[in-house]
Structure 1
Amino acid sequence: MEQLTAGQKLDAAFEKLGQEKTISFELDLDTDERSLKALDALSDPEPGEEIPDEAVGLLSGAKVSFTMQSKKPIDESGEEDYVGMAMKVSIEDGDVVEYRVIGDDVYVRTDTAALGEAMGMPVPSAKDLPPEAGALKKVLEGAWVTFDAEAMEETASGLGEEPSPEPTLDAKTQKKLLAAVRSTIAREVEFKTAEGKDGSEHVTATAPFRTLMTELLGEIRPLAKSLPPGMELPTEKDLKDAPNAEVTADFTLNDGKLTEVYVDLAKLAESAKVKKLGLKLRLGEGQTVKAPADATELDVEELLGGFGAAMMGEEGFGEEGFGEEEF
């Protein structure tokens, strides 16, 4: 009875979420530097190819925020129904990348200095660029810039870089995939409920990783011919060495509404040195995606020309320029 009740509560929470027209959520990797380095060591990197300290610091403190805004409920929306999308990547020192799409207009802002420092890569300042770089200077100054997505595609097409169509699933295949996922979860996942300290309710879903993935792919494999090109499914041989440790996802519900999901991945590392490794997703009130008031409009051809000018050898970034290894 508890298994049925917990699953029903989770189903109802996702159905309620799907009826929203705007969804905002934040995703972060819940880990620490020691666990990340231990995880990297498990891959047995070549000497000198270990994960840099700067990248460890970036990953352990990074957060990614998303917002999707549609004219229809999210679970009824197609690509043409979305009127706004936004993404922001933040680290402990502040926001490093922000991206918004409203209709055909794309808005981008990047803190190139902070991003370069976090990644351990040299990044030029705007003053180091030649006059021919034009609008690219605005990008390096961290200002909001905007361009027309359709114009960008047309320019890329004119350069012989025709963009590939986005892989899509037809409605019939989507329903079959959803049925396959639900069937597998009902068989292989154990659900439990518990009361939280703040009046919230927690639904935990636990399953052995390799068994769950093997069963799920077994259900999906008959649909492989209906999947878009490039969506290759792992084979049973690929999954043979995957860990079969039990993975638990903790779903937090408030008044039946999904507010947080936490997935503990530490056991999949199969190493006592990886003590903290999880994914945390927090859902909040949907935010309206707005265009920045101070965005500078970019001419796509001018921007591409600026990149070309900036990459010129002798007219590169400053007097010293970049060596081949740094570039």
Structure 2
Amino acid sequence: MLQPVGEADPADRRRRRRLPSRVSVSVQSKKPLKDSSDTDITGMAMKVSGPDGDLLEYRQVGDWAYLRAGVKPLEKAAGGKLPDPGQLPPDATALKEILGGGWVKMPAGSLTKSTPGKETGSSGAPAADARKKKAIKGLQDLVTREVQLKDTGTKDGADHITATASFKTLLTGLVDELRPLAGDLPPGANLPTSQDLKDAPDKQVTADFAIKNGALSEVSVDLAALADTAKGDKLSLRLRVGQGDQAPAPAQATQIDPATLTQQLLGGLAPQPAL
């Protein structure tokens, strides 16, 4: 598997872990999101940013999906150098484009598996929707059963409600409810197995929900409770909810084959030693 070359100073790595990161997601649909199926989604954008810049950006516009990696911020976050595109094998064209930092594009449908369902003939779409509805119902039941809610009053103009649950119980239940959707995941993406989750921390975590004008405006979770030596430090994961922007298609993007890219990422391409 492709990995960064070299190691940063340990103090640098500790400092980076304390710095905030941000994930922004925007989805456009023909219908309200709660009523939308895959065929109603007209656009999506996701950006993962760190203290040194954007790490990863993904957009779906119409029939095309676009991807760009922030190579320099990724190297700083990983604490090592990624391979130079010029040092990769000649046939690693897709990976070269990614490591070059430019936009690449691929047919949006190529990112998901299509498995014909017995109920639907060749398309499988109604069967997939049925699986999703069943998973959503299972998740609702899981939250009702395992999560303790508490009204904590008003702060900064927002009503706050906390939700507390066992991290291991909630994570295991979440994965179990999503297993029927495993066949709809992109190639190379797999849900954790029961063995993978065996050593998950069995500790209580609390999420804080901020509600303004009857709508959810922010969710924050302190993950420090999961660390063995938290010592009062905070590791906050925060999600802010607001009006999304229309995701434009990048002006220039090189078309690649996602299956080829997956092979090149997982096929044992060895990074070059740092000079």
Please state which band the TM-score falls in when normalised by the shorter chain.
0.5 to 0.7
Aligned to 1:250: 208
Q: Tell me the C-alpha RMSD between the 2 structures.
A: 4.6
Query: Measured at CA, do residues 166 and 251 of structure 1 come closer, stay the same or move farther in structure 2, by a change above 3 Å?
Result: farther
Describe the SS at the equivalent of 1:196. strand
Match among 68, 75, 81 for residue 121 of structure 1: 81
Amino acid at match of 2:229: S
Give matches, 1:152-301, under 5 Å: 165=113, 170-212=128-170, 216=173, 226=180, 228-229=182-183, 231=191, 234=194, 239=198, 242-273=200-231, 275-292=233-250, 295-298=251-254, 300=256
Q: Across the two proteins, how many residue pairs are aligned to each other?
A: 242
Counterparts of 2:153 and 2:97, CA distance in 1? 51
Counterparts of 1:256 and 1:234, CA distance in 2? 38
Say if 2:37 and 2:129, in contact at 8 Å, map to a contact too: no
Structure 1 residue 231: deviation in Å? 4.9
Amino acid at match of 2:206: T
TM-score, normalised to structure 1, is: 0.56
Show structure 2 runs of 5+ residues with no match: 1-5, 116-124, 184-189, 265-269
Say if 2:45 and 2:57, in contact at 8 Å, map to a contact too: yes
Show structure 1 runs of 5+ residues with no match: 1-47, 154-162, 309-321
Give matches, 1:40-59, under 5 Å: none
Aligned to 2:38: 79
The answer as to 2:40 corresponding to 1:92 is: no
Larger Rg: 1
Structure richer in helix, relative to its length: 1
Describe the SS at the equivalent of 1:260. strand
TM-score, normalised to structure 2, is: 0.65
Counterparts of 1:137 and 1:177, CA distance in 2? 38
Counterparts of 1:137 and 1:212, CA distance in 2? 39
Amino acid at match of 1:93: D
Query: Measured at CA, do residues 78 and 180 of structure 1 come closer, stay the same or move farther in structure 2, by a change above 3 Å?
Result: closer
Identity within the alignment, %: 38
Say if 2:66 and 2:106, in contact at 8 Å, map to a contact too: no
